[in-house]
Every structure is written in structure tokens, then in C-alpha cells.
Chains A and B, each alone.
Chain A
Amino acid sequence: MFLKPENFRHSAFMEGVKDAAPQAPGVAAWGLMTGVAMMNSGMSVLESIAMTLFVYAGSSQLAAIPLIAVGAPAWVILATGFCVNLRFMVFSLHLRPYFMHLPRFERMMHGYLTADLSYVLFTRRFPKPADDAETQLVQTAFLAGNTCIVWVSWMVASFFGIFLANIIPSNWGLGFAGTLCLVGIFCSLASTKMRFFTATVAAVTAIAAYALPLKLNIVLAIVVAVMFSMSLERLQKPTGQST
């Protein structure tokens, strides 16, 4: 939660901001195109603003937009959003030991604001949960700074997309900047043989299972890749502490 002084006055807050800042243009490009997509689908300005401010999940928004446009049953839209978001449940399981010391409302705010990018950047910076109160505060402040910059760039860009929808060309593929941003972070993580293996399994699974509905290929790929990596790690235990 970046509104808490204890977090944003901490030096780790700025560290989190700096860690996420190079990614901001990618987030912004994605937000911009999501804003455009909402307006082009025929959603009203108010609806688009509300969706941007509250739903705050690009992939589930993009999945829901065409369904809203054709007036699909509400439960279908919500179930779609849920499936597209399933990976976040894996993330929340991973982040749990980092934030259980916080009061429920606070840790839920942190969880709500932590989308793919902040999750990856945060766990890259802190592979292990803190053992003492000072480090806990550092981690919380870092995440607050990180999610702050992602939130602001997403919101500002989405609003530009909403209000300038009719002059922003949606077929130029500007949203590809968002993919490139993830490519950069991916390369930053692909630093050990083990991770390379994990990534290969995940990529192959996600492509092979692409026909699954509701982006379930993504959560399947995560589960399969994690299981394969754990088995491999167990096989090569004596040498392999290389995650």
C-alpha cells in the first residue's frame, strides 16, 4: 500500500520505484491499448473509467470487453475473468509468507495491487521472505514503491486511451511494447540452467495447450513447469542449489 507514510518514507520505497521505472513504458503501452479497446467496444466513458480504476487487471479486462459488448451472461464474464486470473492465486500463495505479518486489510491491499510485473520484480529482488521486522519493512516498502509506479503508469495511460480512443490507431500494434517489457524481464531472469529449463517447459506447455479456453494454458504451464523443475532439482540435488 503506497499511501502509508511508513512505506513511502522508507528508502526502499524509492528502490522499488527505480526497479519498476524502466518497465513503465511497457505498462503504459498496454494500459493505453486497453483504454482504447474498452471505448472501441462500445463501453461508455464512465464504464471504462470504472473498469480501469477498480478491476485493474489488463488480461481479464481484455477478455471481458468483447463478452460485455455482445451481452454475454454475467456469470460467463465473471468465470472468464476468474480463469484468466488464476495465475494470481499461485502468486498469492508464493507471496503469503512475505506479508502475513501485516494486518489483513493491508496485506490484501498489497495483494490487490500486485500484478504480474510487480510479483516478478519483487521476487527477483527478494528471493526469500524476511526473518526480522526491519527487513519485513524494507520488503513491504519496496513492493509499495514498485506497485505505485506500475499503478500510476497503468492508470494515466488507460485514461489517455479512453479519452483519445478515436485518434489512437489500434492496428499499429503499440501494445507490443508491453510484450517487449516482459521479454526484457524474462531475459533478466533466465540466468541459470535451471530457470532456462523451467522457462522452456512453460513455453512449450503454454503453446501446446493454447487451444484450452480462457487462457487456462497459462496456469497449466506454470503448474507443469514448476512440477518438472522440482523433479529435476530433486534428481540433481547434490549439485543443484541453483535456482
Chain B
Amino acid sequence: MTRFLLRRLGQSLVLLWLVSVIGFAVLHLAPGGPLSQFTLTPGMTAAQLKLIAHQLGLDRPLPVQYWEWFSRMLVGNWGRSYRDSQPVLLVIGAHIWPTLELMVSSTIIAILLGTWVGVLGAIRRYSLFDYLATVGAMVALSIPTFWFGLVVIYIFSVKLGWLPAGNLYTIGNGSLLDYLHHLIAPSLVLALVTIAIWSRYMRAAMLEVINQDYVRTARAKGLPERMILIRHTIRNALLPMITIAGLQLPTLLSGALVTETVFTWPGMGRLFLDSISYRDYPVIMGVLMFTAVLVLVGNLFADVLYAVADPRIRLD
């Protein structure tokens, strides 16, 4: 176990380093680089730009700059926002919770619904339900999330008036019920893609398990179908899904960004977009790195959890 953990940790550290190189490259290969925001100032001369570049250390060789940025980042100094001089990590910390809420609630919805659809599709393979679920999943994967959000707002907020059209809560009403009421629409919109993906993988995992010897044994000893399904098949089919859940993190984060835009949700996605329009380089970099690290840690966590949950997995 320790060896497995160490190896997996080592791989993740290498990836983390690569991620930082790519992040740094994106920042510095963009035309203008971090200087670009100053060029917009009226009356800025080339000499002044050069001075700023020198003060910010941008005139030094790239590897030197990279090393300084990387070593600072490792100890938690991610720079300060150009907009309000807040430390980047604090800014991210203030915006991460709404996003996490959205991600967690939509993941719960997706796991419940997706598991149900996948299981039913697998035990009634090639049935009408299975066929419709297959087609439905493919269509769901093809719908642009933001457009689906607009349609949901149009139907449920504008036409029916059942759900609020956005925001975390109604101003002046911070009750839990109000909070949850605002969470319904965005988390359902975000869940659509995940439900589709989860149900397809769940169906495949069920089909792998359904013909295993131990399922036949359970049937032979006269266990009711329902018990076999719950105690044996679904339980075992869910194991590999831990990895899938980890792999879905980037998709989920991308979807969250788009969903937040449509529902004016004050999370990481909103922060990222605002920072882009302000050319707030340190925050853009910070969010980019933060999401990549989140994905990396999520995958590592999923791998370890899978190994712990499934004793058949050999750890070294």
C-alpha cells in the first residue's frame, strides 16, 4: 500500500510540474504577456513599459522567471490580483464554495439518476428503455450546456415561474430553503452531461459484472433477483465508477464555468471570466493552476479510494 501510494504520488508530482510549465507557457506565450494590461493605459510610452517590465522582473530570461514563479507558488504565494491587490489564493478561496456546492449537488443527482438509468439499461439490454437511454445520452452530450440553461430559465422561470432565474439566494432572504430553491436549476443543468456519461459507463460496468460466476452462484443458491442486484451486481459495478468519477472532474469544472455564467452564480467560473475581461493575469493564472491541481488531486484520490475499496486490486 505504501509503495503504491508513493509511486502514485510521485507520478502526480511529475504531472503537477508539467502542469505548471504549461500554465506558465500559456501566460507568457500569449501576446503581450502580463504586460499587456499596462499597454492599454493612455499615454503609456515604450520607455515606461520597459521600466515596468524591469520592476516586475519580466525582462529576465524565461527559465529564471519560471523558477521564481514556481518556487513562490509552491509555498502558497500566488501573487496579488491586479484589480484589488488581494492575494490570489484568498480570491480563489472566496469563490470556490459556490462552485463546489454546484459540483457536489449535481454530482449527487448524476450518480443517483445515472446509476438508475445504467442499471436498468443493462438488465433490460436492447429494450426500448435501453435504446431510448442510449439515444438520450448521446443527445444530452451534444446539447451546449449554456443553451440548455437558457431553455431551463425560459421554461421554469419565465413561463412557469417555478424557479428563480439565477443568483445564490434572494437578497434579504438567506434561509436554507431559499438557498436550495436557487440551487435546483443550475445543478440540474450541470448534471445533464454527467448523467449521460455516468449512465453509459454504469451500463457497461453492469454488463461486465452480470455474467460473473458469483452472480450465477447467488442465483443458483436461490437468492431473489432483487437481492442479487443490490448485494452483488450493483455493488461490484459501482467500484470502477470511482475512477470514472475522478476522470469527470475536468468536464464538471468546464460545465460549472458555463453554468455559472448563465445563472449569474458567483463561483470560480464567474471569477475566471471577470478576471479575463480585466486582464487580471495573476488571478487568471491562479484559477488555471488551481483547477488543474484540483483535477490532479481528485484523480489521485479516486485511484487510492478505488484501490482501498476493491481488495482485488493489487497495490504494487
Query: A and B from one assembly?
Result: no
Taking beta carbons and an 8 Å cutoff, which residues of A are in contact with B? none
